[in-house]
Amino acid sequence: MSIPSQDSPTAILRVSCPDQAGIVAAVSSFLYENQGNIVDIDQHVDQDEGGFFMRVEWELASFAVARDSLAVALAPIAARFGMEWELHFSDVVPRTALFVTKENHCLYDLLSRHESGELRMEIPLMVSNREDLRGVADRFGIPFRHFPITRETKAAQERNEIELLRAEGIDLVVLARYMQILSPLMTEAFPNRIINIHHSFLPAFPGARPYHSAHRRGVKLVGATSHYVTEELDEGPIIAQGVTPVSHSDSVQDFIRKGRALEQTVLSRAVWLHINRRTLVHANRTIVFG
Amino acid sequence: MSIPSQDSPTAILRVSCPDQAGIVAAVSSFLYENQGNIVDIDQHVDQDEGGFFMRVEWELASFAVARDSLAVALAPIAARFGMEWELHFSDVVPRTALFVTKENHCLYDLLSRHESGELRMEIPLMVSNREDLRGVADRFGIPFRHFPITRETKAAQERNEIELLRAEGIDLVVLARYMQILSPLMTEAFPNRIINIHHSFLPAFPGARPYHSAHRRGVKLVGATSHYVTEELDEGPIIAQGVTPVSHSDSVQDFIRKGRALEQTVLSRAVWLHINRRTLVHANRTIVFG
Amino acid sequence: MSIPSQDSPTAILRVSCPDQAGIVAAVSSFLYENQGNIVDIDQHVDQDEGGFFMRVEWELASFAVARDSLAVALAPIAARFGMEWELHFSDVVPRTALFVTKENHCLYDLLSRHESGELRMEIPLMVSNREDLRGVADRFGIPFRHFPITRETKAAQERNEIELLRAEGIDLVVLARYMQILSPLMTEAFPNRIINIHHSFLPAFPGARPYHSAHRRGVKLVGATSHYVTEELDEGPIIAQGVTPVSHSDSVQDFIRKGRALEQTVLSRAVWLHINRRTLVHANRTIVFG
Amino acid sequence: MSIPSQDSPTAILRVSCPDQAGIVAAVSSFLYENQGNIVDIDQHVDQDEGGFFMRVEWELASFAVARDSLAVALAPIAARFGMEWELHFSDVVPRTALFVTKENHCLYDLLSRHESGELRMEIPLMVSNREDLRGVADRFGIPFRHFPITRETKAAQERNEIELLRAEGIDLVVLARYMQILSPLMTEAFPNRIINIHHSFLPAFPGARPYHSAHRRGVKLVGATSHYVTEELDEGPIIAQGVTPVSHSDSVQDFIRKGRALEQTVLSRAVWLHINRRTLVHANRTIVFG
């Protein structure tokens, strides 16, 4: 292992396969033999399902294998262990679309962290079912596309959105308090590439108005959950969660106010983990290589 | 208001009534006129239900009204505002029965805090559906009563337990990881006087084996919830909650281990709040005068 | 007590005086007699110093005393108990100046919460010792004033700043990661009206580069502290604090990244508490009427 | 990697050496070639100091190298990379001495977790400078040794204690709220094998009466820190930390009460990490292989 030079790009390999002996040895030997200085390596064995999962990150500067030969070079190891794998390069940043409705706090938090360089991605597009936040998009010079949605137009509009996302080469969709339920059309088009923030500690209070439900139940903590969106509403793999204390003296409005800081923090953390290729989905759960 | 002398007993009045003007003025003037130095006063207005709730604690040393005249002296104020009220004296400590099964951590935590004087109560009785923890009772010199329970004997045994609790003058029942569901017979006999610890962040994962469910769902925090027991399983008013972080690398056994510290902390806090008369139940929620 | 009508303005009285009997009775009776529906009342007795502190908020709609007669009407009670007091009206919002340097996250968080209406204040002015964040000010249409500071010009520039703050009628100064130490000139001009965010869990790691110090010490949590600025660097009354977990695998840069979400959350909470008149400073500590 | 059979013992190797390429490959290949199923592997590179650290745990059941040949078999790899290393077997549990004074909560927590099997260690000895907790030792059948300490007798008594600890074959000393400062005599006799719990968020409030100092400073969170004891008081490598919220309405006694749950939780976690060989000390910091 080795410390990455500040600006040296890295390669990131994520692997899933049946658990078996020799995987770490094979991969680390391959990298060693090709002068690949490992920057970070982490593994996980799923004890219930028997799966093996690994994330390895190494420096490209000294690495003996060219980027476009890497897939071929890895193929024998992948075949030997029956690996599913994905390869990323740290200097290729994801193109991200932000979906919003009315609430601005998650949006500003993402834009602020993008501006400061914390979130290394491109944001070529904002999408909304309303006009409310167009002004924010304008301020940041981000193209804003309005897709008003009614029950009748929903399917057609989602198709339009998907077309636009594909035309723009979007890798990641972030629902920054986007208040529309996505149909399977959309979720199947971007599997494990749509991140939502739900304003409760899932699986408590799924669906609409979770702060109202939490208030009625008299909980002493409110939560927020960021997850990949799947066909089942609020049932997708959880990436990050957080809670903050509340009391009987807090009104629903206070729950909403206290929840905001939580929502933006949890969503931005989930996005950071995703774009740094630190998440891996298996059996509707995430492995988060922290 | 005034600082209580270390050992001076106090009176604690808890009040619920429809919200209306003049309540604080009436009660505080009554205490002032009778040389009752207020040690602590807290109020709450339920904005949804329109209820008013108050807890006042004052020193008895200088107080001009005798303990056994107090109810009569308060009657006119109570009548004027339509108050439900409860009166306690800090030197009258509750008699508490601990219900346990196999897990010892909540039990030891309560016993340790009792021994150190943090939990000011008497513990004249431990009850269990198993023999496992008799040894702990013996060590601490607490009478231990074994009520084995099968589906057939459950109703009869609960009646025996209630009889015993009444014979012992029990004010409070603490279910310290007691692994039996109480029937309405028991819950109605001790309304708002049975405290349970559930090993999840309710309302997520009610019922049996919550850590297993939490692990399957892939949550990133596990929780514990202490609540008053009502007829509806795991639906009673919540007194205290806590969470602790977990990750994909934690097995169910790790969830259970990490949850233990949480469960005992949350339960002991709830018991402390109850025996210091800091909780008030309304509309299936607790007002916790912190 | 009573529920405030959504748009009805309220009066907020904050009081400090020597602890003595009858204060609550006197104030609540005064309000009751003048049809002042109490929305919120909270008190505190400082057991070490013997001080009494109270915050009362009541509706103005039905109140029998006119705003400009209120000070006179309260004078006898204030005199009787030797009160220091302050009176605010919820529809008079503070004029706030934001001081910044290079980091944008606290700034965006304040602006986002201001835009959504969570932080009810005016922001007529941004001040900086650098030009870096002028663009943000421009986007939000906030006048931006650049006061470059060197050791030689510091005193003169602070005088200029104070003059400007006074000319603008500024009530509150928020240092949103402003990387200059204020001289007594400034702190004395705005006592308990300058709020800073320090990126550590004070009193641990005061002064410069706290994340570096925290990393070197090997802490397992990093913190953030919002406090009123006094003459003593990082020694002023603490308003709010937070922490977030870190591990050996986090670099200093990771500490900085993880700390950002914390800093902005803690600062925005402190500003919210201040502008809702929920803080009271006594003996270099804050009483926070939550 | 592989899932450990429930009762199968494992070997744990912890390694420190200068960072260099090929370490993971060498160790994992060695284990693979000898049928050592890796249960857990974790590494860390210290970016400031350039050190490499690794913890590997593998099953002994199928392993081709006998326990007493293992050191010899590993020697060539250790030599090649200049490793310092330590080898443990999961079925060899540490012999632990508990040092106490008056407070019982940390003690009970350790004993409870020991009794339930969570803390896999032997406790052949309790040591105290007072008699207060002898009763607890008696209840649990643990030999209790009283070493009263005055300024004059301190050095002699510590020598007696060290002699006893050695005679008893003690591997680990846990200071469970032991209220005596250890001299270098003791700390040098058990380097990185004495764990203390300090009742503050270090480095804030080192030394005596930290809750009093925290109260005076007006902090909004109180903390607890578990660390290895070194010659410098409260300056040793931190293993675990925690915090809990407090407010202006909490007295010093409330700080102490709220801190108790924290202290015992943090200490028990640190002891668990140590006895599961998950800690590694380097440059006065701990690497905690979570």
Q: Which two tokens stand for residue B254?
A: 């790790």
Residue B20 contacts A where some CB pair is shorter than 8 Å = no
Nearest-angstrom CA–CA distance, D150 and D152: 5
Residue extents of the structural domains in chain A: 10-89, 95-288
Tell me the average pLDDT of chain B: 94
Report chain B residues whose CB lies below 8 A from the CB of D113: 105, 260
Burial of D264 (0-12, 13-18, 19+ CB in 10 A): buried
CATH of the domain spanning D10-89: 3.30.70.260
Predicted pLDDT at A6:
52
CA distance A155 to chain D (A): 46
Q: For the residues C95-118, what does the mean pLDDT come to?
A: 98
- Report d(CA C14, CA C83) in Å as an integer: 10
The residues with which B69 forms a beta bridge, in sequence order, are none
Q: Which residues contact D92 (CB under 8 A, 6 or more apart)?
A: none
* Cβ–Cβ below 8 Å for C241 and D223: no
The count of C-alpha atoms lying within 13 angstroms of the C-alpha of A169, restricted to the half-sphere facing its C-beta, is 7
Q: Write the residue in B25, B35, B42 that is nearest to C29 by C-beta.
A: B25
Low-confidence residues of chain D: pLDDT under 70 = 1-7
Chain B residues whose CB is inside 8 A of the A249 CB are 44
As a whole number of angstroms, the distance between CA C207 and CA D260 comes to 30
Q: Which residues in chain B show pLDDT less than 50?
A: 1-5
The residue written with tokens 């806090």 in the block is B269
CB contact under 8 A, C140 and A140: no
Interface check B118 vs D, CB under 8 A: yes
> Which pLDDT does position C20 carry in this prediction?
85
Q: Quick one: closest CA in A to B237, which residue?
A: A218
- Segment C154-183, tens digit of pLDDT: 999 999 999 999 999 999 999 999 999 999
Q: How far apart are CA C128 and CA A112, in angstroms?
A: 18
pLDDT in tens, D92-125: 999 999 999 999 999 999 999 999 999 999 999 9
CB contact, 8 Å: A141 with chain C? Answer: no
The segments of chain A whose pLDDT lies below 70 read: 1-7
Q: How many C-beta atoms lie closer than 10 Å to residue B77's C-beta?
A: 18
Does C21 sit within 8 Å of B25, measured CB to CB? no
Burial class from Cβ neighbours inside 10 Å (0-12, 13-18, 19+) for residue C168 reads middle
User: B3 vs C45: CB contact, 8 Å cut-off?
Assistant: yes
CB-defined contacts B:D, below 8 A: 48
Do C82 and C18 form a contact (C-beta atoms < 8 A)? yes
Chain A CB contacts of C114 under 8 Å are none
Q: How far is CA D49 from CA C71, C211, D18, D36, in A?
A: 65, 17, 9, 31
Predicted structure pTM score: 0.96
What distance in Å separates residue B209's CA from the closest CA in chain D? 19
Q: Rounded distance, CA C215 to CA C202, Å? A: 15
pLDDT value of position B7: 65
The whole-number pLDDT of residue A2 equals 41
Q: Measure the CA–CA gap between B105 and D264, rounded to whole angstroms.
A: 12
Contact D23, D84 (CB under 8 A): no
| Chain C contact for A157 (CB, 8 A cutoff) | no
What would the DSSP string read from start to end of D30-98?
HHHHTT--EEEEEEEE-TTT-EEEEEEEEESTT-SS-GGGHHHHHHHHHHHHT-EEEEEETTSPPEEEE
Domain A10-89 shares a fold with domain A95-288: no
Measured between CA atoms, the residue of chain D closest to residue C218 is D285
CA dist., res. D251 & res. B262, Å (int)? 24
The Cα B269–Cα D244 span in angstroms is 12
Q: What is the CATH number of domain A95-288?
A: 3.40.50.170
* Option in C205, C286, C290 nearest D218 (CB): C286
Q: What is the pLDDT of residues B126-146, one digit of tens each?
A: 999 999 999 999 999 999 999
* Dihedral of the alpha carbons of C246, C252, C258, C260, in degrees to the nearest 10: 140
Q: Which residue has the tokens 């399957």?
A: B216
The answer to whether residues A267 and A223 touch, using CB atoms and an 8 Å cutoff, is: no
Question: pLDDT at residue C3 above 50?
Answer: no
pLDDT of amino acid C7: 65
Chains near C, with 3+ CB pairs < 8 A? A, B, D
Assess contact for B198 and B224: CB atoms under 8 A.
yes
Q: What is the pLDDT of residue C95?
A: 98
- The count of other CB atoms within 10 Å of the CB of residue A267 is 29
Specify the pLDDT at position D48. 73
Q: How far apart are CA A147 and CA D179, in angstroms?
A: 67
Of A42, A68, A109, A234, the active-site residue reads A234
Distances (CA, A) of A73 to A23, A66, D243: 16, 9, 49
Query: Residue A237: is the preceding peptide bond cis (ω within 30°)?
Result: no
Contacts of B265 in chain D (CB under 8 A): 261, 265
Confidence bin at C4 (pLDDT 50/70/90): very low
- The answer to whether B61 faces chain C, any CB pair under 8 Å, is no
Give the strand pairing for A10-18 and A51-59.
antiparallel
User: Touching D: which chains, 3+ CB pairs < 8 A?
Assistant: A, B, C
Q: Can you tell me whether residue B119 is helix, strand or coil?
A: coil
Q: Among B217, B249, B251, whose Cβ lies nearest the Cβ of A203?
A: B217
B38 near C CB under 8 A = yes
Q: Helix (H, G, I), strand (E, B), or coil: what is residue D17?
A: strand
For B244, which DSSP code? E
The rounded distance, in Å, linking the Cα atoms of D247 and D228 is 30
Inspect the interface and report whether the beta carbons of D112 and B115 lie closer than 8 Å.
no
Question: Tokens 């010659």 — which residue?
Answer: D231
Cβ count near B49 (within 10 Å)? 11
Beta strand pairing status for C38-45 and C51-59? Answer: antiparallel
Which residues in chain C (187-206) have CB-CB distances under 8 A to chain D?
201-205
Report the residue from C103, C112, C260 with minimal CB separation from A105. Answer: C112
